[in-house]
Amino acid sequence: MNPKLDTNQINYLNIGLMILSAGLAFAYPFELFILVYAVLGPLHYLTEISWLHDKNYYTKGKYDWLFLAAASLGVTALFLGLDRYAPRGTNDFFTYMAFAGGAILLLVDKNKLRFGLFILAVFIGLLLTKLPLFGAIFGLLLPTIIHVFVFTGLFILIGALKGRSVSGIFSLLVFVGVACCFIFFHPDHADYHVSDYAKENFGFLRDDGTGSNVFVSMNLYLVNAMGIQDFGIPTRPYSEFFHKINDFLYQNPSALALMSFIAFAYTYHYLNWFSKTSIIKWHEVSKGRFAVVLSLWIASLILYGVNYSLGFKWLFFLSFAHVMLEFPLNHLTMINIVKELGRIFAGGTKAARTK
């Protein structure tokens, strides 16, 4: 947070934050996730949306962001109960359209061409919805693990490439290396018992299949997709099925290692944002806007403190909106990575030819 830190110092600071996040995630995976999601998450959403607003959300038009905000509002409405009136997978389609639309809004400024591309995106999306992975990618992974881990890694990479920074590349290697530790290192956690508070607010599935929020669905999908455990389709008696899931997610070493990875990804995602204040300069806003951000953050902390599930619902729109509003920047980052790698390759080829 020190504005006098140079790029190398920030990179080494982030390496320390990665190791710290990983250590805490290994020791207290569920508690860490619950804590940082409630405390650091809201401040991250608010400050990033404020920063993106000043960057015009990296789109061509002044009001392009309204499309992404509308998609976020649609997903929020479905999450809060309107999904019963919509076709299955509507929320996945909204997220897909925001992701595809983010690329169009970034790259195209002519309205007729934009309209044609949006129609094409809708047509392609309707075809893709029939694929089993469509819902998993756009409904679950893109707003969660891909956002907090993959895109964070891409931001580290583009920073290292643009600055031709050895410390930046080193920080990326540590980032990937730490993540790999969760794949190969599965401590038995013999002395670790997930607190009742963490279970209840993460998503302790009840006999009827209900839960306090949707966090648990991310773990269930990843556990199945990674071949750690295949729970299959719920069968009667439901009590036996859901008790088996609860016991597995909160006790199995592999499932706990997966949760440690998730906790690490979210914790470092937030800390990375705040550690680079002097580079991103998200804090350089008017006193009025800063006061609004601070007030909303405090209100969010109070709501989470009173009732975690209520706080989660209160912030769902902001949480999803900050993901969707970032899509144009995500596309720009991927484009710039390709450009920088091309320059490096071209420079290396030219140097080799002159020898």
202, 216 in Cβ contact below 8 A? yes
Q: Residue 63 has what DSSP assignment? A: T
**Number of alpha carbons in the 13 Å side-chain half-sphere of residue 62:** 0
> Which of 93, 114, 52 shows the shortest CA–CA distance to 328?
52
pTM of the shown model: 0.90
Res 1: pLDDT: 44
Res 242: pLDDT: 64
Res 135: pLDDT: 87
Res 214: pLDDT: 58
Res 336: pLDDT: 96
Report the C-alpha dihedral over residues 282, 284, 286, 292, rounded to 10 degrees: 30
Res 206: pLDDT: 52
Coil, strand or helix: which one is 86?
Answer: coil
Q: Which residues of the chain have pLDDT under 50?
A: 1-2, 207, 209, 212
Res 205: pLDDT: 52
Res 222: pLDDT: 81
